[in-house]
Amino acid sequence: MNHALTLDDVAGLARARLSPPVWDFVAGGAGDERTLAANRDVFDRVWLRPRVLTGAGRPGLGTRVLEADWAAPIGVAPLAYHTMAHPEGEAATARAAGERGLPLVVSTFAGTAFEQIAAVTAAPLWLQVYCFRDRATTRAVVERAERAGFAALVLTADTPHLGRRLRDVRNGFVLPPGVAPANLAPGDYASPAAHGRDELDPDLDWSVIGWLRSITALPVLVKGVLTGEDARLAVQAGAAGVIVSNHGGRQLDGVPPTLRVLPEVVQAVAGRGPVLLDGGVRRGTDVLVALALGADAVLLGRPVLHGLAIGGAAGVGRVLDILVEELTDAMTLTGTGSVKDAGPALVREQW
């Protein structure tokens, strides 16, 4: 594991550990996977404009999001069933993130009980909410997370049903034995696509933000925003912040890479709450570019499951350490002293 120097190295090791259908479930995207590829490619089209002799010294990576301290502008994106990658699941992830002062967004489909997750980290925990047709189920999940000490909700808005993930269709993907949601009532969860089609509420509108706020005191962020128009509506509806995300290319193939739409979302939100970005972040320079284009922080998806697969909490720790070290390197070598010093002058499109 210590030979892995990049997140791509970790992915290569993880691929050998996971069964092919689970690897495909994690790695795959919707349709032809154009959006999935573009999430990565877009970072390769941006160059950093370093400043020298700034006297900035060792950068400070710490930041504050929703009145909580983060050791770096990096959190763990909501990912279903960490138990698919390692038996300790979300508890291992939370331990690794918590030891580093980094937050974790826990999926509605977590494979580990919220209370067990909360017991092993003092860093912020947010609950990702899938709103079900049965609001009582959604409400029970939210209340359980709030009781466990979670600090915010993240409503995933881009999933009226699961996207057409052709790898999973071809594999006839079902959850491996023993993998099930730990915070939902027993049911038939074997096929995520079929469960989503039957149980997710496809009719949601912006009033769902008000409903969530009526059942909890926690701030609500909206994940899956890809336009300035929706960012504005999210804030008007009472959202505390937005997450620019195309679900890692897993929902609609053909939507733009997240970095492309980040500036219009930042402009629309206009400082009324944090703007986070996920999708394709694999290097410290990717994090810095996202900050420069206005993100307050980024969330990391697949690499976390890769880390879990290769070594549980130690593997996730390795992934987070690599990214933090690379970000430190990138900030040092561009003369960026702190997260708030990263601005548009730091980047330029390919020329």
- Our finding on whether 107 is near ligand FNR (CB under 6 A) is yes
Measured between alpha carbons, how far is 326 from 52 in angstroms, rounded to an integer? 18
State the nearest-atom distance from the C-beta of 168 to ligand FNR, in Å: 10
Work out which of 111, 181, 280, 307 binds ligand FNR, going by CB under 6 A. 280
Extract the tokens encoding 318: 């390795």
Which helix (H) or strand (E) element contains residue 326?
helix 302-334
Work out which of 26, 46, 218, 222 binds ligand FNR, going by CB under 6 A. 26
Work out which of 66, 269, 281, 310 binds ligand FNR, going by CB under 6 A. 281
Measured between alpha carbons, how far is 158 from 243 in angstroms, rounded to an integer? 11
Q: Annotation-wise, does 336 bind a ligand?
A: no
Work out which of 98, 279, 311, 317 binds ligand FNR, going by CB under 6 A. 279
Q: Annotation-wise, does 340 bind a ligand?
A: no
Q: Which is nearer to ligand FNR, 219 or 248 (CB)?
A: 248
What is the four-CA torsion angle of 173, 179, 183, 189, rounded to 10 degrees?
30
Measured between alpha carbons, how far is 245 from 99 in angstroms, rounded to an integer? 26
Q: Exactly one of 82, 86, 195, 247 is catalytic; name it.
A: 247
Ranges within 244-273 binding ligand FNR (CB under 6 A): 245, 247-248, 250
Q: Annotation-wise, does 250 bind a ligand?
A: yes
247 to 43, 198, 215, 301, 311: CA distances (angstroms): 17, 20, 26, 9, 25
- Our finding on whether 142 is near ligand FNR (CB under 6 A) is no
- Our finding on whether 301 is near ligand FNR (CB under 6 A) is yes
322 to 13, 299, 316: CA distances (angstroms): 15, 15, 10
Q: Which is nearer to ligand FNR, 78 or 273 (CB)?
A: 78
Q: Under a CB-based contact definition with an 8 Å cutoff, are residues 30 and 163 in contact?
A: yes
Q: Under a CB-based contact definition with an 8 Å cutoff, are residues 103 and 73 in contact?
A: no
Extract the tokens encoding 133: 């047709």
Asked about 195 being catalytic, the answer comes back as no
* 60 DSSP assignment: B
Q: Which is nearer to ligand FNR, 156 or 336 (CB)?
A: 156
Q: Annotation-wise, does 318 bind a ligand?
A: no
Q: Annotation-wise, does 37 bind a ligand?
A: no
**Which residues belong to the active site?**
247
The residue ranges that bind ligand FNR (CB under 6 A) are 25-26, 39, 77-80, 107, 109, 128, 156, 223, 245, 247-248, 250, 278-281, 300-302
Q: Which residues are annotated as a binding site?
A: 78-80, 107, 128, 130, 156, 165, 223, 245, 247, 250, 278-282, 301-302
